[in-house]
Amino acid sequence: MHVRWNYETRAINCMMIYSRMSQWMNLLICVLLLKKIEGLYVGITYVRNAVAKGAVCLDGSPPAYHLDKGFGTGINSWLVHFEGGGWCNNITTCLARKNTRLGSSKQMATPLAFSGIMNNMRQYNPDFYNWNRVKIRYCDGASFTGDVEAVNPATNLHFRGARIFLAVIEDLLAKGMKNAENALLSGCSAGGLASILHCDSFRALLPMGTKVKCLSDAGYFINVKDVSGAPHIQTYFNQVVSLHGSAKNLPLSCTSRLNPALCFFPQYVVQQIKTPLFVLNAAYDSWQIKNTLAPSAVDPSGTWKACKLDINTCSPIQLKTVQDFRTKFLNTLYRSTNSSSKGVYIDSCYVHCQTELQETWFMTGSPELGKTKIAKAIGDWFYDENPFQKIDCPYPCNPTCPRSDLDKQHHLDV
């Protein structure tokens, strides 16, 4: 089922309806119009034959994806997008995900709304609107890297993310991706990390003649100590890699040199990636500020609570700490993206994930960097029209940034 709405006229339409109809009917219609239904709704596809290969979600259910087929000039172009949603680092946190959409395809919404980079309207997604657009659902808890054969009958937890990745790609190849002329592997948050970790392996699975690139949205998680001086995120990622048996599925160019757990951090991987990669990230990534820099575990009194909710409320000392985080973020980025094949769009907004929301991807009022919207920068880079590599000035210099953190669904505490 495809539902199209002109996002910018919904409020106007709502007011017109109000003038003509009874109050109770108006309220009902306003609620329906103002819901986030821009773009289209796409049905779910379950990869049921993957179960026999052991490629399953945490609860043992089959993996799933949503595919909206390309048309016109985009019929042989493919955008494959990883869903995000944090990770689980121990049995307790994985059990907590097991019976949710992040651990079971039985709990996934169908159909799913496509917007932003997944939108099928040219005015809202100028370069990828008519491509085959795929959203791979995330249900393994380790950015599609895990592979543990044994299953404890007491928990019935399956750690098989790497198998899910292969099973879905094989299914898409059979459905026409084997004829792809263009292919872009993308993802948001934990999915943005997956698009980095699987970038070269994705390229290897496609035909030799295919133009393949990768895009990481809010997936450049850095290895930095929290406000207490503890290596919180490094410890957490180490637990994820260990629990899920991820080491053997992380890039060999990294694991051959470093502790495999470090290879979950893009800063140790990106420089060795051979496939062209675009890094889209906020220098003040709201998820990293909330969970890496000032996790709740090291702030029991809630000193950082207001600052994490709204960067404008940070005290001078907190703001200096946040600015120091930006400096460390940029230092790791400089060392790993110094190649002409890599694209870089680092704005100074307080957000997390900018490709999936229409408001930040491409519409009136969307964020800009160098007078360029995100969609324009990525489209030009993919088609080799402009090797976009720009970093924004420090907060609060960019007036095009949204006033608040728009993305809430990926803010799972660690």
Segments making up each domain of the chain, as ranges: 1-35, 40-406
For 175, phi then psi, to 5°, come to -95, 10
Residue 21, pLDDT score: 46
pLDDT for the residue 337: 86
Q: What type of residue sits at position 194?
A: A
313 contacts: CB under 8 Å, gap ≥ 6: 306, 307
Tell me the average confidence (pLDDT) per consecutive run of 10 residues in the chain, 414 residues long.
Answer: 39 41 49 50 98 98 98 98 98 98 96 98 98 98 98 98 98 98 98 98 97 98 98 98 98 97 97 97 98 97 97 97 98 90 97 97 97 98 96 97 70 62
For residue 276, the SS3 value is coil
Structural tokens at position 211: 């133009």
- Whether the Cβ atoms of residue 276 and residue 341 lie closer than 8 Å to each other: yes
Name the residues annotated as catalytic: 189, 285, 352
pLDDT of residue 409: 56
Q: How far apart are CA 328 and CA 76, in angstroms?
A: 40
**Could you check whether the bond before residue 111 is cis, i.e. omega within 30 degrees of 0?**
yes
Using alpha carbons, list the distances in angstroms from residue 240 to 195, 232, 285, 409.
17, 13, 21, 20
State the pLDDT at residue 170. Answer: 98
- Exposure string of 230-240, with b = 16+ CB inside 10 Å and e = fewer, is eebbbebbbbb
State the fold for domain 40-406.
Answer: Rossmann fold (3.40.50)
Among 285, 281, 287, 290, CA closest to 226: 290
Supply the pLDDT for residue 13. Answer: 42
In order, the DSSP letters of 341-364 are: T-EEEEE--S-S--SSSHHHHSST
How far apart are the C-alpha atoms of 37 and 15, rounded to whole Å?
18
Give Cα separations from 350 to 169, 170, 227, 272 (angstroms). Answer: 33, 37, 18, 29
Q: The whole model's pTM is what?
A: 0.90
- Check if the beta carbon of residue 41 is closer than 8 Å to that of residue 114: yes
Q: What is the pLDDT of residues 67-102, one digit of tens each?
A: 999 999 999 999 999 999 999 999 999 999 999 999
Tokens at 261, concatenated:
């757990």
The two tokens of residue 235 are 């410890």
- How many C-beta atoms lie closer than 10 Å to residue 301's C-beta? 6
- Beta strand 64-68 pairing with 132-136: antiparallel
